[in-house]
């Protein structure tokens, strides 16, 4: 079986923190690259058969593709602001350049259609507060169906879980075509804040669970800053942020369905939890960020 928990550094490609193709993951569609550019550096990326988002994690950049140029304001950290982004199509040469340095994620999906490049303004990204009590988290829906429909196969969103809270809960799955779910391969890319709650740091940690009811898959792992977890099938959740260490993760989803969807089914053993939220208040620490910066 493909290694599902990839610790920080194990997917590195030179100075770039992550290079994950569908073949590396043992599936067909979803992939992820995380690039690190030094101040003043320019890099040209060939997308091949993949569409992708260009999503700054730290820093600002210029994206040039198909004769267009997009200036991405970016952010200082994934815990400081909702960022703007760009969509880039398959079969493209994409030039990234930065003045002050850049760490950037490229969630990607193998696709058939070639669409036009497009800019995504930060102020148009919807922020959702999901759950209540200790299950409260922020969902930043920058690349989800119904919000961003300019993609062929690629779905992506960001989550911030305040320290001590649970997210991706109740556990859910999307590994078969049914009345409530579609088939999607999913990647979790984790960043963990240190003691200041803003700067990513290797000292913090959280937990992630993926499992099947028959016990054939039963992964319960401690995740740290820069780790990647692959979800080929089965129920996944919760992701738990340890007290003192807020958790961020980027979700990348793609699959064979003709229409993009992130539909899922809860684990019936825990689905009742969702109904209990109506009588409990949300954690006032959420939302954590907006396009204008940190909140609260």
Structure tokens at 238: 């919760």
Q: Please report which residue ranges of the chain form alpha helices under DSSP H.
A: 22-25, 272-276
Strands 18-20 and 30-37: what pairing? antiparallel
pTM for this one? 0.98
Query: What is the structure's pLDDT at 120?
Result: 98
Residue 143 CA to residue 32 CA, distance in Å, equals 14
Peptide bond into 41 cis (omega under 30): no
Residue 105 to residues 56, 65, 256, 295, Cα–Cα distance (Å)? 6, 17, 23, 24
> Taking the CB of residue 102, how many other CB atoms lie within 10 A of it?
24
Residue 26 has pLDDT above 70, yes or no: yes
Beta bridge partners of 13: 16
Residue 18 CA to residue 117 CA, distance in Å, equals 23
Residue 2 has pLDDT above 80, yes or no: no
pLDDT digits (tens, 9 = 90+) for 117-168: 999 999 999 999 999 999 999 999 999 999 999 999 999 999 999 999 999 9
pLDDT digits (tens, 9 = 90+) for 201-220: 999 999 999 999 999 999 99
87, 106, 112: which is closest to 19 by C-alpha?
106
Domain 5-277 has CATH 2.60.120.10: yes
- Residues 246 and 193: beta-carbon distance below 8 Å: yes
Residue 90 has pLDDT above 80, yes or no: yes
Structure tokens at 46: 């060939």
Hey, where are the domains in the chain? 5-277
């Amino acid at each position: 079986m493909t290694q599902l928990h990839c610790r920080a550094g194990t997917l590195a490609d030179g100075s770039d923190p992550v290079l994950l193709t569908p073949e590396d993951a043992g599936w067909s569609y979803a992939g992820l690259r995380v690039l690190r550019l030094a101040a003043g550096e320019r890099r040209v990326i060939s997308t091949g058969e993949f569409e992708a988002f260009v999503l700054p994690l730290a820093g600002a950049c210029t994206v040039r593709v198909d004769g267009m140029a997009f200036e991405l304001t970016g952010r200082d950290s994934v815990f400081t602001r909702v960022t703007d982004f760009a969509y880039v199509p398959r079969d493209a040469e994409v030039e990234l350049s930065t003045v002050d340095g850049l760490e950037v994620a490229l969630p990607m999906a193998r696709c058939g259609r070639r669409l036009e490049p497009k800019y995504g303004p930060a102020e148009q990204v919807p922020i959702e507060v999901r759950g209540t009590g200790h299950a409260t988290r922020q969902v930043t829906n920058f690349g989800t169906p119904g919000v961003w429909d300019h993609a062929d196969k690629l779905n992506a969103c960001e989550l911030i879980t305040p320290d001590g809270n649970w997210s991706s809960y109740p556990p859910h799955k999307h590994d078969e075509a049914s009345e409530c779910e579609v088939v999607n391969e999913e990647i979790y890319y984790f960043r963990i804040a240190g003691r200041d709650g803003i700067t990513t740091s290797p000292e913090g940690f959280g937990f992630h669970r993926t499992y099947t009811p028959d016990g054939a898959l039963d992964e319960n792992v401690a995740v740290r800053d820069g780790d990647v977890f692959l979800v080929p099938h089965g129920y996944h959740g919760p992701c738990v942020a340890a007290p003192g260490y807020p958790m961020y993760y980027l979700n990348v989803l793609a699959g064979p369905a003709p229409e993009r969807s992130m539909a899922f089914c809860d684990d019936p053993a825990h689905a009742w939890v969702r109904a209990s939220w109506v009588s409990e208040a949300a954690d006032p620490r959420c939302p954590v960020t907006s396009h204008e910066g940190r909140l609260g």
